[in-house]
Amino acid sequence: MVGKIEIVESLGESVVLLPSLIAAALAANDRLKIRLTLLQEASAHAAEPGRTVLPLEQERRAVGLDDAEYDAIVASARPLDAAQFLAAGAARLAAGINGDLASMLAPCEVAKTGTAPAFKTRRDALVAALPDFKGDRVAHAQVASLASARRGSGDSVHLLVMDLHKAINLLAAETAVEQIDGAHAAGLDDPARLRVKAFMRGLNRTSPLAFGHPGLATTAGQLGGRLSIQNDIGTTDAHVLVVHVEGLTVTTTYTDVHRSRAKFFIALFAGEKVGWSPLDEKRQRNLAEGEVFFLLTGAYSARDEVDLDRFLEFLGSRIVFLIDWNKARKTLQAFTSKSAAIALLTEAARHDDGHRAFLELGGAELVYEAIRNAAPGRIAYGVPLDQALGDAECEGFLRHVLHVACEGLKDGRSTRLIRDEIQANLSQRLDTAERELLGMVLRQLGLTRMLAGMIETAFLPDGLASLEDRKSLSLRAKAIEAKADRLTVAARKIFARLRNADELLQLVDQVENATDSFDEAAFYLSLVSQDGANDGNAGANAANFLSAPLGALAALATESVSQLTRAVEGALLIPNGKRLDAAFSLQCADAVTDAERAADAAGRGAIGAIVVETPAGGDARSLVLGLEIARALEEATDRLAHAAMSLRNRILQELSA
């Protein structure tokens, strides 16, 4: 394309007409896209008559196709056979394609651009081949041919429209009468200039987040009372933003070849009360990406001019987050799910953290390097990052990566420093995974301590609690044990994310075994009868006699759980560098083993007392159940001692690291 000076010299008096020709060409571009969209919708509806007919009134009115007859094109579409369908108004709609293509070609021909002859040749060939849709009969293949965006398989109206649109934008920039904060503008009155300034304030505020990526060129023109602002976003075909401002209404038309990015664009305006067309949600359901573009229209009604400028500024500030978005989304999906990757990019945009910095610093390799340096031996080979950290921690880490990369490049930090910050954060999160597991064990122990205390209170000074209370205790124990089992399953899932942490698995398992033993003791307690087996009193005496020897053992078991709970609480603080907590934790773990030895002695004493000193004529069932209760309580203290030893070994391992 020739330069601006040559164009102005060659135009002579025609230069006065060029701004209006460009504005008319851009308006024709909008109409052509809606014409193609209506035909595609009609084709889809005829192929699937039961599908919902989407309202396109807002879209067609926004581009100047005001005749309500056009709405019937989609609603009336019905199949004639497998290849053709009938759509009322299709012939009239298609007849306007030629005129709109002529309007788009006009500024290129007047400016005598280098591409004008080739464009004219292509337009003439496409117009000659245009179907007339006589009798409103349309072939599905004709619609597909007109709307095809695939290069290398023949020319199409859609491809010509995209190429002309790019050329017109370049021409508008080169022949602009003025620049408004970087936007190339022509034919604007003073109110329109203020609107463009507002849009460019937002765009210029966030455009540095592109970090050198091409795109974001903006042109503006005015036709009557309608201001048009266009941005080419990036270098991708059919990825264009057009903003129309009339009065206090802003109509945004957005085209994209990626459905997920179009949905992301909508999400950027959450809370802004923009009325979006539902086209992106349903229209392209059965069409392959790359074959067509996705078109969205959003309308915003401002309260006053201040609110109008605020919205335009916000709109301009969002565009940079569309550049390389799909690449960033696919890169993040190497570490998390697609939905999580999109949510991360949406959240980053809300905080003005541009993902281009993440890609500029290496993208996936930036994360892989952090894993290699911060997690050797801590994440098992082949385990995905979201499994190693858990979904929430993984997403938190990736969010941190996006933020640190963006802030680091903006502030001019060295690449090495940015990478070190990312690696340090990952290391902290790996420590968090271990703390999460210990936190789960602490919840287990809370339930176990509750159960042990309930059993201890069943041994009253003058005998056992009532049979009714002990049966209730057994039911509650079973519910507590079931809840503790669920915590055990969750803890094992966390353990699966760690490596070289077998002691922690042993801790989890031994606490679970101790809880099972307490549950078993509660069950046996519920079976001890308070009614005499023979004379009505002997059984009661035997049952009451169990209280003293077993009560002492139960108290030691409760103390054992309490000491292990304190040990785990101390261990949770060790990653924070509190070595005094490590010493406290080790002391408590040692107290658990002391309690286990005392429980062994108390268990033998209880068994001896039950066997030797049971009153004559005592209930044999109570005798056997008493022995089983003693065995279960002693087993619980043994399991807790094993758990304490596993915790001790882990603490010493951490301290020596």
State the Cα–Cα distance between residues 146 and 131, nearest whole angstrom: 9
pLDDT in tens, 56-90: 777 788 788 877 778 788 888 999 999 999 999 89
* H helix and E strand count, the chain: 25, 13
Mean pLDDT of 278-283: 48
Q: What confidence category does residue 584 fall into, taking pLDDT thresholds of 50, 70 and 90? A: confident
Mapping DSSP to helix (H, G, I), strand (E, B) and coil, where does residue 63 land? Answer: coil
Reduce the secondary structure of 161-225 to three states and give it as a string. HHHHHHHHHHHHHHCCCEEECCEEEECCCHHHHHHHHHHHHHHHHHHHHHCCCCCCCEEEEEECC
CATH topology of domain 431-656: Methane Monooxygenase Hydroxylase; Chain G, domain 1 (1.20.58)
- The answer, yes or no, to whether residue 455 has pLDDT greater than 60, is yes
Q: Among residues 515, 275, 498, which one has the least CA distance to residue 393?
A: 498
Q: Report the distance separating Cα 566 and Cα 568, nearest Å.
A: 5
Interior angle at CA 315, CA 314 and CA 317, nearest 5: 65
Q: Is the pLDDT assigned to residue 272 strictly greater than 80? A: yes
Q: What is the pLDDT of residues 21-46, one digit of tens each?
A: 888 898 899 899 889 988 988 998 89
Residue 351 burial by Cβ neighbours in a 10 Å radius (0-12, 13-18, 19+)? exposed
Token duo for residue 232: 């080419």
Q: Work out whether the CA dihedral 15, 19, 20, 26 comes out positive or negative.
A: positive
CB environment 250-270: b (16+ within 10 A), e (fewer)? bbbbbbbbbbbbbbbbbebbe
In angstroms, what CA-CA distances link 149 with 27, 117, 145, 154, 436? 20, 22, 9, 10, 51
The pLDDT tens digits for 620-645 are: 787 888 899 999 999 999 999 999 99
127 and 98 Cβ atoms separated by less than 8 Å: yes
Spatial separation of the C-alpha atoms in residues 434 and 508, rounded to whole Å = 12
pLDDT digits (tens, 9 = 90+) for 551-570: 999 999 999 999 999 999 88
Q: Which of 336-340, 476-480, 540-544 has the lowest mean pLDDT?
A: 540-544
- The full 3-state SS of 542-596, as one line of letters, equals HHHHCHHHHHHHHHHHHHHHHHHHHHHHHHHHHHHCCHHHHHHHHHHHHHHHHHH
Burial of residue 590 (CB within 10 Å: 0-12, 13-18, 19+) is middle
Residue ranges of the domains in the chain?
Answer: 1-175, 177-321, 325-413, 431-656
What b/e string do you get for 281-304 counting C-beta neighbours within 10 Å, with b at 16 or more? eebbeebeeeebbbbbbbbbebee
Question: What does residue 185 show for φ and ψ, rounded to 5 degrees?
Answer: -130, 155
Give the pairing type, strands 294-301 and 249-256.
antiparallel
- With pLDDT > 70 as the criterion, what percentage of the chain qualifies? 86
CA angle 423, 581, 568 (to 5 degrees): 85
Which stretch of 19-23, 131-135, 367-371, 574-578 has the lowest confidence by average pLDDT?
A: 574-578
- pTM, two decimals, is 0.56
Across 468-489, average pLDDT: 93
State how far the Cα of 471 lies from the Cα of 524, in Å rounded to an integer.
10
Q: Which two tokens stand for residue 530?
A: 């308070």
Do residues 126 and 157 touch, judged by C-beta distance below 8 A? yes
**Helix, strand, coil percent content, the chain, rounded in steps of 5:** 70, 10, 25
Alpha-carbon distance 566 to 415, whole Å?
44
pLDDT tens digit string along 495-529? 876 666 788 889 999 999 999 999 999 999 999 87
Residue 249 CA to residue 267 CA, distance in Å, equals 20
* Torsion angle defined by CA atoms of residues 599, 605, 608 and 611, in that order, rounded to the nearest 10 degrees: -70
**Mean of the pLDDT values across residues 395-421?**
92
pLDDT above 50 for 539: no
CA dist 372 and 616 (Å) reads: 72
**DSSP E strands, 446-498:** 459-460, 463-464
Mean pLDDT computed over every residue of the chain: 84
Name the band, by pLDDT with cuts 50, 70 and 90, for residue 237: low
State which H helix or E strand residue 263 sits in. helix 259-267
Q: Using only C-alpha atoms, what is the Rg of the chain? A: 38
Predicted confidence band of residue 381 (pLDDT cuts 50, 70, 90):
low
Q: Which of 427, 420, 376 is nearest to 397 (CA)?
A: 427
User: Which DSSP state fits 466?
Assistant: P
- The answer to whether residues 466 and 530 touch, using CB atoms and an 8 Å cutoff, is yes
